[in-house]
Amino acid sequence: MSNYIDAKNTYAAFGVDAEQALERLKEVCVSVHCWQGDDVTGFDTAEALSGGIQTTGNYPGKARTPQELMDDLDVAFSLIPGKKKLNLHACYAIFENGERADRNALEPRHFAKWVEFAKARGMGIDFNPTFFSHPMVRDNLTLSSPVDEVRKFWVEHGKACLKIAEYFANETGVPSVMNIWIPDGYKDLPADRIGPRRRFKESLDEILSIPYDKKKVYVTLESKVFGIGLESYTVGSAEFCLSYADKAGITPLMDNGHYHPTELVSDKISSLLLFHENMALHITRPVRWDSDHVVLFDDETREIAKELVRNDALDRVFLATDYFDASINRISALVTGVRNVKKALLYALLEPAAQLKKLQDEANYTDMMILQEDLKTAPFGAVWEEYLRREQVDSAYMPAVRAYEKKILSERA
């Protein structure tokens, strides 16, 4: 506490109100992806993970059933400070009484258990149709397939998911973000680039043609530059997705693993904010490729956070995490990554943004650089500790994770 008071005074000398920063952070919600808990396996098929994404590692104790995943999420949630939402994929449908439904026939009731779970924890639910890990993904294509039967199947899946997202919003009272990402693409140079994109466009139009309440469901569209085995061409490229989102009045989503390695999402956010009411982010950590490592408190995560804060955009941007590391304790992975998103936001909230902007506009790049450098050694840790204290979570979360691992995870084969 006394460390915090000292820190508060140091920030005050920078012209920053630490109390205000803490108050603001309280209101920020991060959507926590369930799929870190089981290496993106889901419960509806026995298919291997496909779509050009990959988990590596075989750390013991992954969740194998809905109950195990819920239990693990509960442990993670208890250690993650602040507001959270649950982010589900369609492949996490929970079938009861021996019933099963294929992806194109999913219904709200297949997610009733998740609604019960979220409601009991006062959370909203975000949603994702699952266009991968399924036999109807033919030749790495779904919504852009030239095979009518395949395309139709996935259009039906998209429509089914829209209804499920609306159900989540109705049940929880919190709007649901429904994110569309398709893996479709080609390993080698295609002969026809426009055909698949035209079909993707038509498929999206068909999905979005069903009535849904736009105040309750925010449809987002996620682009990608390449996937494993899909190196030469992806249908849902950045240009396609931005243009489509703009035209259809839906929300663009940027995943910071989905660009060439020197392109930075932190530099893209401001442009989207100028042209879209809302945007969405998948916060991840690409290491040399879209590797989906656990989010760290690193330069780019902080830079993304600064863009949100500087542009007063925290209420316009849907924040979600998206990574999957199977080589470490999965609960620690969830807690570490989501904490780091919040940590980066607090760091950004402790920046004298107006003063820095002024220095830039006065072309005083010297002082602008020095001030930014000085901020790096300001006592951020003490303010972060104070935030954790107020949210009633411990700074050290590994004892709780290890205790659960010893008692529960180690019993899983």
Which amino acid makes up residue 97?
A: N
Residue 395: which of 319, 336, 329 has the closest Cα?
Answer: 336
Residue 102: which of 139, 152, 65 has the closest Cα?
Answer: 152
Residue 295: which of 323, 253, 316, 273 has the closest Cα?
Answer: 323
We find the least distance from the C-beta atom of residue 36 to Zn ion, in angstroms, to be: 12
Judged by CB under 6 A, the residue of 38, 126, 166, 290 near ligand RNT is 290
CA-to-CA dists, residue 357 to 272, 360, 366, 372, 382, angstroms: 20, 5, 13, 11, 26
We find the least distance from the C-beta atom of residue 131 to ligand RNT, in angstroms, to be: 9
The answer to whether 53 contacts ligand RNT (rule: CB under 6 A) is: yes
We find the least distance from the C-beta atom of residue 111 to ligand RNT, in angstroms, to be: 16
Residue 314: which of 51, 11, 25 has the closest Cα?
Answer: 25
Q: Which residues contact 407 (CB under 8 A, 6 or more apart)?
A: none
Q: Which is nearer to ligand RNT, 18 or 241 (CB)?
A: 241
The answer to whether 222 contacts ligand RNT (rule: CB under 6 A) is: yes
**Residue 255 annotated in active site:** yes
**Residue 258 annotated in active site:** yes
The answer to whether 174 contacts ligand RNT (rule: CB under 6 A) is: no
**Residue 322 annotated in active site:** yes
Choose the stretch contacting Zn ion; rule: CB under 5 A; options: 129-137, 254-262, 324-332, 388-396.
254-262
DSSP secondary structure code for residue 352 in this structure: -
What single string gives the DSSP state of each residue in 235-276? SS-HHHHHHHHHHHT-EEEEETTSS-TT--GGGTHHHHHHH-
Residue 185 and residue 234 in contact, taking contact as beta carbons nearer than 8 Å? yes
- Which one of ligand RNT, Zn ion, none is in contact with 154 (Cβ closer than 5 to 8 A by kind)? none
Within residues 255-274, the interface with Zn ion by CB under 5 A covers 255
Q: Which residues contact 330 (CB under 8 A, 6 or more apart)?
A: 36, 37, 38, 39, 59, 61, 62, 63, 72
- Which one of Zn ion, ligand RNT, none is in contact with 168 (Cβ closer than 5 to 8 A by kind)? none
**Residue 292 annotated in active site:** yes
Residue 103 and residue 90 in contact, taking contact as beta carbons nearer than 8 Å? yes
- Taking residues 297 to 336 in sequence order and writing x for each that binds Zn ion by CB under 5 A, - otherwise, the string is -------------------------x--------------
The answer to whether 33 contacts Zn ion (rule: CB under 5 A) is: no
Exposed, middle or buried: residue 138 (CB in 10 Å: 0-12, 13-18, 19+)? middle
**Residue 282 annotated in active site:** yes
Q: Which of 39, 307, 322, 405 is labelled catalytic?
A: 322
Phi, psi for residue 30 in degrees, rounded to 5: -120, 135
- Which one of Zn ion, ligand RNT, none is in contact with 259 (Cβ closer than 5 to 8 A by kind)? none
SS3 state of residue 33: strand
**Residue 222 annotated in active site:** yes
Q: Which of 72, 184, 222, 386 is labelled catalytic?
A: 222
Residue 176 and residue 162 in contact, taking contact as beta carbons nearer than 8 Å? no
Within residues 178-197, the interface with ligand RNT by CB under 6 A covers 181
- Which one of Zn ion, ligand RNT, none is in contact with 224 (Cβ closer than 5 to 8 A by kind)? ligand RNT
Strands 83-89 and 29-33: parallel
Residue 281: which of 31, 34, 90, 27 has the closest Cα?
Answer: 31
We find the least distance from the C-beta atom of residue 312 to Zn ion, in angstroms, to be: 25
Q: Which is nearer to ligand RNT, 66 or 379 (CB)?
A: 66
Q: Which is nearer to Zn ion, 8 or 84 (CB)?
A: 84
Choose the stretch contacting Zn ion; rule: CB under 5 A; options: 31-39, 193-201, 249-257, 335-343.
249-257
- Taking residues 68 to 97 in sequence order and writing x for each that binds ligand RNT by CB under 6 A, - otherwise, the string is ------------------------------
We find the least distance from the C-beta atom of residue 53 to ligand RNT, in angstroms, to be: 5
For the annotated catalytic residues, the residue numbers are 181, 222, 224, 255, 258, 282, 290, 292, 322
* Interaction site with Zn ion (CB under 5 A): 255, 282, 322
Contacts with ligand RNT by CB under 6 A lie at: 35, 40, 53, 128, 181, 222, 224, 255, 282, 290, 322
